[in-house]
Structures are given as structure tokens and as C-alpha cells.
Amino acid sequence: MEEKRKRNLFPTILIITIPLMIIILVIIFFGIKNNNLHLANNINDTGVNWDKYEGQEIVLSGSGKKVISAAGVYTLSGELSDGYVEVNTTGAVKLILNGVSITNNSGPAIYVAEAKLVTVETAAGSENVLMDGAIYSGWDEDVCATLFSHDDMVLQGSGTLTVNGNFEDGI
């Protein structure tokens, strides 16, 4: 009797176990897509004294590349219709996005070539949009995101940042 009961449970166990295993494998191989993204990292910029830098305002307009080549705090506003902001310095840089719209049809909207640390902060109450192109032309293979950094990057602020990743990754 005991053995017959065990045999009767076996199909029930299979019916429950197999779908669970399939669900777990799908999650492992394909991940879960979620439009409500919460970013957390263990990098912070508390070791940087941002007060020692004189803040600079950059109003973006037109198209083309805008290069930041010195450490400091930069407040960006305005619109680049086909271009990008490049950070290329050995120091720390804070980019405060205060109502920017940056579209690059052939690469990232913000590209950090080199920096000790980059902090991207959205100004309170601001709405900011970054968009890259569906095809990257003239970039190294590893450059693959709308907001791309070769070095450590911190995202912070209470403003809104919409990242439209058309090539591979958003950030």
C-alpha cells in the first residue's frame, strides 16, 4: 500500500517540478525585463570634494561633439540634435543635467573616454532625455550604450532622466 501511494505521488511531483524548472531556466537565460529600473551600485562620490571646483554652465545647441577636458562640475542645459558630450580627463567630473536633450544618430549621447570618476546628477525638477543611434559608426566595439563610461560612474539626483537605447544598452 505504501509503495502504491509513492507511485501515485510521482506524477504529481513531476507536474509541479517540471514547470518550475522551466520558469527558473527561462529567468536565468533570458532575464526579466522591467521598465521600472532601479539602479544600485557600491560606487559613491563622497570622497570627492565638489566644492573645490568652480561650477561651469554649458548650454548645448546645434550638433557636434562637446568635449569636457578638465576636472570639475558642469551644469548642462539645452539641446544637441545630432551630437554628444565627451568627458576626457584624468580628474573627477560631475555632470549636472538641467533640462538637456541629447541625440546622437551614430553613437552615445554621453561618452566618458576617461575620468577618475564621473557623477551624472539630474537637477531637481528637471527633465532630461538622452538618445543614441541604432547603428554606431566610428566607435570602438566596447562602446555600446547611450550613456557610456569606460570608468566608474555614479548616477544621482531627483530630476527625471529618460534614456532611449536604440543600439544595445541604455547605460
Listing DSSP states for 13-64 in one string gives HHHHHHHHHHHHHHHHHH----SS-----S---TTS-GGGSPPEEEEE-SEE
**pLDDT for position 16:** 63
**pLDDT for position 15:** 65
Task: Look at residue 37 and tell me whether its pLDDT is greater than 80.
Answer: no
> pLDDT tens-digit profile of 7-19?
566 666 656 666 5
Query: How far is Cα 55 from Cα 77, in angstroms, rounded to an integer?
Result: 13
Query: How far is Cα 145 from Cα 152, in angstroms, rounded to an integer?
Result: 15
Q: Are 73 and 56 in contact (CB under 8 A)?
A: yes
Task: Decide the pairing of beta strands 117-122 and 92-103.
Answer: parallel
**pLDDT for position 33:** 39
> pLDDT tens-digit profile of 108-145?
999 999 999 999 999 999 999 999 999 998 898 889 99
Query: In this structure, what C-alpha cell is assigned to residue 73?
Result: 562640475
Over range 21-45, report the average pLDDT: 50
Task: Look at residue 5 and tell me whether its pLDDT is greater than 70.
Answer: no
Task: Look at residue 27 and tell me whether its pLDDT is greater than 70.
Answer: no
Lowest mean per-residue pLDDT among 44-58, 86-100, 118-132: 44-58
DSSP state of 54: P
Q: Are 43 and 152 in contact (CB under 8 A)?
A: yes
**pLDDT for position 140:** 86
Over range 103-109, report the average pLDDT: 95
**pLDDT for position 169:** 86
Q: Scan for cell 543635467, then name that residue.
A: 97
> CA angle 128-155-51, nearest 5°?
100
